[in-house]
Chain A
Amino acid sequence: MKIENYFKPKDLNEFFKMTQGHDHWKVVAGGTFVSRQKYVKVHTLIDIQELGFDYINDNGDLHIGSMVTFTEFIETNNDYANGTLLSSFAKCGPITVRNIATIGGNIMGGYYWNDTTPVLLFLEAKLVFLKESSEILEINVEDFINDRAKYKNMLLKEIILPEKYRNERVFFNRFARTESDIPTSIFLGGIVNGKNKIVIGASTVKPFAIISEDEITVEEIKAKAKEIHIMNDLRGSNEYKLKLINAQYKEYKETKDEN
C-alpha cells in the first residue's frame, strides 16, 4: 500500500466529500484488517472513529453500530440468542485484537471468510449502509454475502439483529488453527420456527445455510459444501475441512440429543 493521505472526517458530509475527491480510498474501522493488506492499491485512508457509529441500542431489535469493538460488545454481557452473539464475538481473536477490531470492520474486511458473517447469517441480521446524499440501504446479510463487491464503496452504519432470535438457543462452534487466525470452520445449528437450520462457514468458502423440516444429515452438509467448492488453503485441505465439519456436526447432534 502506498498511503499518501489520512483523513478523519467529523461528520458524514465530510466523509462523502472526501471519498468523492479520491480514488483508491479505504475506510479504517479498527485497523486490524487494513494493516494486513500489504499489496492492495490504497492511497487514502479514511478513519471513521468520529462519525458516531459506536452505539448499541437494545430495544426490541438489537442495533449495533459498525464501530463497536468486539470487546465493547462483550463487556455489555448482552444475552441475545442466549449468548450466541457474545460467545461468537469472544472467539474473534485474542484480547489485543478484540480490543481494537470493530464488528463492522470484520464484516467489510475481505478475507474469505470472516468470523462474524456465519453467525449473522444464522440470526438473519440486516446491514444498514449509507450512500451519498444520506440515502439509506438496508439489506439482508445473505445478499451481502452473495454480492459483496456491490457494497464495497458504501459506508456500513449498523447491524440489526431481529428480536425474534432473542431467546433462541443456538449451537455455535468455531475452530481456528491459532487464537488470532481466521476460522478454519464455523458451525451453527438450531431449530427455528419448527425447522432445522444449519449454517456453515469456513476459510475460502462463503457461509451457507441449510433449512429443512426434516433432520439435516451430515451427507447433505457435505454435498452442499462440495457443491460450493471448499478449497485447499493455508488453514487446511478440502478433506481436512470436511472432517472438521463432520466433527462439529457430531458435537451438535450430541448436544441436541441431550436437550
Chain B
Amino acid sequence: MKINFNLNGNDRTFETEPNEKVLDFLRRIGLKGVKRGCETGDCGACAIILDGKIINSCMLYTGQIDGHSITTIEGLGDNQNPHLIQETFVDEGAVQCGFCTPGMILATKALLDKTPNPTLEEIKNGLSGNLCRCTGYVKIEKAVVESAKKLGGKNV
C-alpha cells in the first residue's frame, strides 16, 4: 500500500506493507537513528516526533502516519551541522552509550517547542517515555535546561 507523509520537512511517498511498523519502516529506508529497543512502548529508544508530539514508532503501523508529518533525529542535524540541542547534550556530557540519545533529543525538541522555559517537573514529564540505563538522568535534565537557555524561547 502507498503512504504519503512529510518526512523531515519533505513530502514523500512510499510503498509499505499493511503489517509494517513505523520503526521497521524507518530503519528499512535507512534512518537508523530510530533505535530498536523494547518494541513494546516502554523504553522510548524508537521515539520520533509525529505532528509535533513525541511518540514511540514501535507502536504505530505505517498506515497511521499517512497524511501526517514526522521528524526523526536525522531531520534535526548531523555531524557537520548539529542541532543546538545535540550540541548541548554533548557539551553537558549527557551522552554515555548513546542508544537512548536520539529519543532523548527528540523528546527535548518536542518539549521545548511547546514549553520554551520548562520547570524541572515539566522536563521530567517531557522525558517520561525515554529510559536511560547509563546516566541517571541528572546530566540529561541539565542539558534540557541549558538547551532552553540557549534557545531563549525560540523554536528551532
Interface residues in chain A, defined as those with a beta carbon under 8 Å from any beta carbon in chain B:
1-6, 8, 28, 31-32, 34-36, 45, 47, 49, 71, 93-97, 99-100, 178-180
Residues of B near A100 (CB, < 8 A) are 50, 53, 55-56, 59-60
CB distance from B14 to the nearest CB of A (A): 14
Interchain CB contact under 8 A, A95 and B126: yes
Q: Tell whether B130 is near chain A: CB-to-CB under 8 Å.
A: yes
Interface range on chain B (Cβ under 8 Å from partner): 20 to 34
Interchain CB contact under 8 A, A6 and B129: no
Residue in B1, B19, B47, B64 whose beta carbon sits within 8 Å of that of A96 in the complex? B47
Interface residues in chain B, defined as those with a beta carbon under 8 Å from any beta carbon in chain A:
1, 18-19, 21, 40-42, 44, 47, 50, 53-56, 58-61, 63-64, 66, 107, 125-130
How far is it, in angstroms, between the C-alpha of A179 and the C-alpha of B128 when the chains are bound? 8
How far is it, in angstroms, between the C-alpha of A88 and the C-alpha of B19 when the chains are bound? 32
In the complex, residue of chain A having the shortest beta-carbon distance to the beta carbon of B44: A96
How far is it, in angstroms, between the C-alpha of A34 and the C-alpha of B59 when the chains are bound? 8
How far is it, in angstroms, between the C-alpha of A146 and the C-alpha of B95 when the chains are bound? 49
Known contacts A96-B41, A99-B54, A180-B42: does B129 contact A31 (CB below 8 Å)? Answer: no
Residues of A near B18 (CB, < 8 A) are 3-6, 45
Residues of B near A97 (CB, < 8 A) are 41, 56, 59, 129
Residues of B near A8 (CB, < 8 A) are 63, 66
Interchain CB contact under 8 A, A36 and B61: no
CB distance from A42 to the nearest CB of B (A): 9
CB distance from B99 to the nearest CB of A (A): 16
CB distance from A26 to the nearest CB of B (A): 11
Interchain CB contact under 8 A, B64 and A31: yes
Interchain CB contact under 8 A, A6 and B61: yes
CB distance from A1 to the nearest CB of B (A): 7
In the complex, residue of chain A having the shortest beta-carbon distance to the beta carbon of B129: A96
Interchain CB contact under 8 A, B128 and A94: yes
Residues of B near A2 (CB, < 8 A) are 19
- For this complex, 19 residue pairs linking A to B, each with C-beta atoms less than 8 Å apart, are A6-B19, A6-B61, A8-B66, A28-B61, A28-B63, A31-B64, A32-B56, A35-B41, A36-B41, A95-B125, A95-B126, A95-B128, A96-B56, A96-B128, A97-B41, A97-B129, A99-B55, A100-B59, A179-B128
Residues of A near B60 (CB, < 8 A) are 31, 35, 100
How far is it, in angstroms, between the C-alpha of A34 and the C-alpha of B19 when the chains are bound? 11
Interchain CB contact under 8 A, B63 and A45: yes
Residues of A near B128 (CB, < 8 A) are 94-96, 179
How far is it, in angstroms, between the C-alpha of A6 and the C-alpha of B63 when the chains are bound? 7
In the complex, residue of chain B having the shortest beta-carbon distance to the beta carbon of A2: B19
Interchain CB contact under 8 A, B130 and A96: yes
In the complex, residue of chain B having the shortest beta-carbon distance to the beta carbon of A49: B64
CB distance from A3 to the nearest CB of B (A): 4
Known contacts A31-B61, A47-B64, A49-B64: does B40 contact A96 (CB below 8 Å)? Answer: no
In the complex, residue of chain A having the shortest beta-carbon distance to the beta carbon of B46: A96
Interchain CB contact under 8 A, B129 and A95: yes
Q: With contacts A95-B129, A96-B41, A96-B130 known, what are 7 further pairs, Cβ within 8 A? A: A3-B18, A31-B60, A36-B40, A47-B63, A95-B126, A99-B54, A99-B55
CB distance from B132 to the nearest CB of A (A): 13
In the complex, residue of chain A having the shortest beta-carbon distance to the beta carbon of B38: A180
CB distance from A60 to the nearest CB of B (A): 30
Interchain CB contact under 8 A, B129 and A180: yes
Residues of B near A3 (CB, < 8 A) are 18-19, 61
